[in-house]
Each structure stands twice: as C-alpha cells, then as structure tokens.
Amino acid sequence: MEFLIILFIISILYVIFLPQIKGYFGERVVATMLSGLPIDQYKILNNIMLRTEYGTTQIDHIVVSVYGIFVIETKNYKGWITGNEYADQWTKNMYGKKYRFRNPLKQNYAHVKALVATLDIPEDKFIPIVVFSINSDIKVKTSKPVVYTGQLGRTIKSYSDIKFTEHELDGIVTKIRLANVTNKDAKKEHVNQIRTKVRDNNLKIAQGVCPKCGGRLVQRRGRYGVFTGCSNYPKCRYTNNK
C-alpha cells in the first residue's frame, strides 16, 4: 500500500514538473551544441537572469562574438509548430491536441531589450534566434531565424559581418556575469511572476478581453484563416491563433 502511495505521489510530481524537466533537458542539449563552437571566437553564457523594470527575465543562452551577440531561446516541444512572427501566440499541435504558447520571437525580443538596457549597446548588434527540438515540425511563417537544434551552429557561423572588436568581448561578458541574478529566492520569484502573468492573460482571453491593451477581442479573417484579434487594431496588434 505504501508503495502505491509513493508511486502516486511521484506520478503527480512528474506531471507538475514535466514542463520544467523538458525545458531543462532542451537547454542542456543546446548548451552542449554551443560548446562545440570555436572557443577562441565565441563566448558562451547559459541560463542568465537579468532584472528589468518589470521584474526579471531569464535568457536560455547568450553567445558573444565579434559578429554580434546571439540571444537564443530554446523550446523543447514535439508536434507541429505553427504561427507567424507578428502573432502573440503560436500553437503546438500533437495528435490533434493543441496547446498555445507565447510567440518565442516576441519572448526573445524582450530578452534583447533587457540586454540592450544592461549593456548599453545598440539593438542592431544583437541577433535573436529561436531553437526547436528535432522532435518538432516547424511550420511558422517568419523572416527571423527559427531553427532546429542541429542547425544552430551552422546558423551562428553564417553571420560574418564584424560588429565588435576582440578587445570589447571580455567587457561584454563581464557585464553580463555581474548583472546575472543568482539568488534562489529571485529565481522562485521569476517563476511565480511567469505563472501569474499566464494565468491573468488566460483569464482575460476567456472573458474576451485583450491581454495586451484591454480592448475587446473579435473574430477576424486573414490570409491564413480565421483568428482572434483586438478591436483596437491597428493600434494594438494582439492576435490569438486558435
């Protein structure tokens, strides 16, 4: 009987923490691949948390090089991934079961803005990249780099325009490390902050309220079919692909 109770508790904990477990392993795979880049050209920083005016933001991977600062967002998802660079949410479709998640391009743009503020470096020096697991099937419409894990190294090496001098790189890395939040309480606060925001946004959407500006959500028909958008368009470009 005790064994069954323990097994039940373990099963519940597994379900609760499955997203964190999958995210951790996805980040470890990408970190391993990044470690294969030439160490004399690319400086790797993993799992960086920065304070912003809105709280904290967690960046999966940063690669600092003379070719720019690569800001990498990792998604360890399976199934079809659909969306476009302007939508607020993308969709994961696996065996007909759909799950919406925040547009990782917009999520990563927030990371870039945090680094711009931290480093006082122009935005055009940054190169945001979104990386999906090879178990996914990317079907997004975007001009921004959204790649599979196996394409990441090749994508980074494809950039050859010089943006920094070798002398500047150590200073950039030092600034990021000094700004990195390592306090455990702050990390817990960050997780709670994300959960609260997701819960509040989902509640607003369920009530037909735009989570971005407070406007009314309406059904629209676009090039790619019917979608939910904000009544305050074009001032607010919130969309929710269902």
- Same structural domain for residues 212 and 233? yes
- Same structural domain for residues 192 and 240? no
Q: Which residues of 59-85 are buried (b: 16+ CB within 10 A; e: fewer)?
A: bbbbbbbbbbbbbbbbbbbebebbbbb
User: Does the structure show a pLDDT above 50 at 10?
Assistant: no
More confident of the two residues 81 and 218:
81
More confident of the two residues 197 and 209:
209
- Same structural domain for residues 175 and 217? no
- Same structural domain for residues 96 and 170? yes
Residue 11 lies in a domain: no
- Same structural domain for residues 125 and 225? no
Residues 74, 132: Cα–Cα separation, whole Å: 6
Q: Which residue range(s) make up the domain with 195?
A: 17-206
- Taking residues 202-227, report their average pLDDT: 78
Interval 25-74: pLDDT, tens: 556 889 998 999 999 999 999 999 999 888 889 999 999 999 999 999 99
Residue 7 lies in a domain: no
Beta 126-132 vs 136-141: how paired, if at all? unpaired
- Same structural domain for residues 127 and 34? yes
- Same structural domain for residues 121 and 223? no
Interval 119-165: pLDDT, tens: 999 999 999 999 999 999 999 999 999 999 999 999 999 999 999 99
How far from 125 is each of 150, 172, 175, 206, CA to CA, in Å? 24, 12, 16, 39
Q: Please provide the average confidence, as pLDDT, over all residues in the chain.
A: 84
User: Does the structure show a pLDDT above 70 at 231?
Assistant: yes
Residue 116 lies in a domain: yes
- Same structural domain for residues 129 and 215? no
Answer whether the bond into residue 234 is a cis peptide, omega within 30°.
yes
Which distant-in-sequence residues (6+ apart) come within 8 Å of 48 by Cβ?
58, 59, 62, 176, 180
Of 14-18, 96-100, 155-159, 212-216, which has the strongest mean pLDDT? 155-159
**pTM reported for the whole predicted model:** 0.71
- Same structural domain for residues 47 and 117? yes
- Same structural domain for residues 134 and 155? yes
Residue 104 lies in a domain: yes
How far from 11 is each of 6, 14, 18, 181, 201, CA to CA, in Å? 9, 5, 10, 32, 28
- Same structural domain for residues 163 and 219? no
Question: Domain total for the chain?
Answer: 2
